[in-house]
Copies of this chain bind each other. A is one copy, B any other.
């Protein structure tokens, strides 16, 4: 039975970076997060793909032991399609075209089994829908983490805040936090997140790492410096999946272990950037993850 459930999008991504391109590769927040989580615990995914999402595609998830029983197929529409490019600043995706297709009709409908999953990741999406998923759960998950994005922050800021209040941890990146709380100061943003009853405030900073605030402490991890970043698509979702996966595997939600989870998640996310789509995650080993965590220890040593 799955210990971690990731609810979010599945799409086909066509991405061009200065280092190459990929056409119609599987992407989406639920893909990256579930694959990253599957390194740690039995994982399930809930999403809605289109009729062009074949058994071959599904097998990529199933080969990793991911429960795809709630990965639904729309009978008529195609899978979400995202076309984007990265320019000089490899951290900044420019969307050329997005077609929601099947995903526009996504209403998560969990099986009785998955309604009891103890660790829940609500990948970025409509905050009201994210809350609806939480309400479906038969018992309160041990830990629920929600992500968000600029689109919903602009369109539904109150609902995004309500979602952060409802989930245990609201995850966002620095630009999103600044936008949601209308201040450039990340400490002030973190305090606002904590006021929304978030157990921890975790703000992702891309290549600049991640910061963690609780009511009485502060942790900061720098980014892992990569010389060869091929495609940063999905790093945030890989980060979230590995973070929650590590916590599910270790079962310890104290801050010391949350710090270790953030380091492990940063390691996994850094690998993801080394190749297009989630290709690097598919070849990644536990030994490599542990090795990069050890490198992180050396990087911050003084």
A2 partner residues in chain B, CB cutoff 8 A: none
A262: nearest residue on chain B (CB-CB)? Answer: B302
CA distance A263 to B185 in the complex (A): 21
A227 to B181, CA, bound (A): 14
Q: Say yes or no: A302 contacts B185, CB within 8 Å.
A: no
Interface string of A265-302 (1 = CB under 8 A from B): 00000000000000000000000000000001111111
Which residues of the other chain, B, contact A221 by a CB distance below 8 angstroms? 222, 300, 302
Answer whether A218 and B186 are a contact pair too, CB < 8 Å, given A208-B208, A225-B211.
no
CA distance A220 to B299 in the complex (A): 6
When chains A and B are docked, how far (Å) is the Cα of A277 from the Cα of B221? 30
Contact of A223 with B by CB under 8 A: yes
A21 proximal to B (CB < 8 A): no
State whether the Cβ of A226 lies closer than 8 Å to any Cβ in chain B: yes
**Binary per-residue interface labels of chain A (211-236) against chain B in the complex, 1 for a CB within 8 Å, 0 otherwise:** 10100011111110111010000000
- Taken residue by residue from 190 to 228, chain A's Cβ proximity to chain B (1 for < 8 Å, 0 otherwise) reads as 110000000000000101110101000111111101110
A223 to B298, CA, bound (A): 18
Q: How far is the CB of A21 from chain B (nearest CB, A)?
A: 18
Q: Given the complex of chains A and B, what is the CA–CA distance between A88 and B229 in angstroms?
A: 30
**If A211-B222, A211-B225, A222-B221 touch, does A263 touch B302 (CB 8 Å cutoff)?**
yes
15 A-B contacts (beta carbon < 8 Å): A185-B227, A188-B227, A208-B209, A213-B225, A218-B299, A219-B300, A219-B302, A220-B223, A221-B222, A221-B302, A256-B302, A259-B302, A260-B302, A296-B302, A300-B300
